[in-house]
Amino acid sequence: MDVPALPPTLQPVTLESLESIHACLHRVVAYCAKCGRWVELDLERLIRLGHGMRTLSTMTPRCLRCRTRGTVQLHPPTPKWDGYPRHGPAPS
C-alpha cells in the first residue's frame, strides 16, 4: 500500500545545524538572564564565518553587554501580520 506524499506545508524539517535551521526559515535567539536581553542571531553571518554545522546544543553565546554566558532558543517562522481577519457576510 502506497503512503500518500505529504503536502509541502507538512514536510518534516531538519533542525540539526545552523545551516538547516536557516534553510527551514527558523530563527535562533540568544537570551542573557542577567540583562534580561534577547538578541536574534545573524544566521547568515554565522554560516558565512564557518559555523554552519554547529548545533544549538553546542552554543553558549556570550552577552555583548555583560559578557555573561546566555542560552539560545529556536523560534519557528512567524507569519507576517496583515491585520485582524475581517468578519462579515460572505461575498455572494
Strand partners, 39: 30
| Residue 24 or 39 with smaller CB distance to Zn ion | 39
Shortest reach from residue 64's CB to Zn ion, in Å? 8
State the binding string over 40-79 for Zn ion (x if CB under 5 A, else -): -----------------------x-xx-x-----------
Question: Are the CB atoms for 41 and 32 separated by under 8 Å?
Answer: no
Residue for grid cell 554565522? 46
Shortest reach from residue 6's CB to Zn ion, in Å? 42
Q: For residue 13, give the C-alpha cell.
A: 524539517
Residue for grid cell 548545533? 55
Quote the CA–CA distance of 38 and 36 in Å, as a whole number.
Answer: 7
Q: Which of 35, 39, 46, 56 binds Zn ion (CB under 5 A)?
A: 35
Question: Which residues bind to Zn ion, rule: CB under 5 A?
Answer: 32, 34-35, 63, 65-66, 68
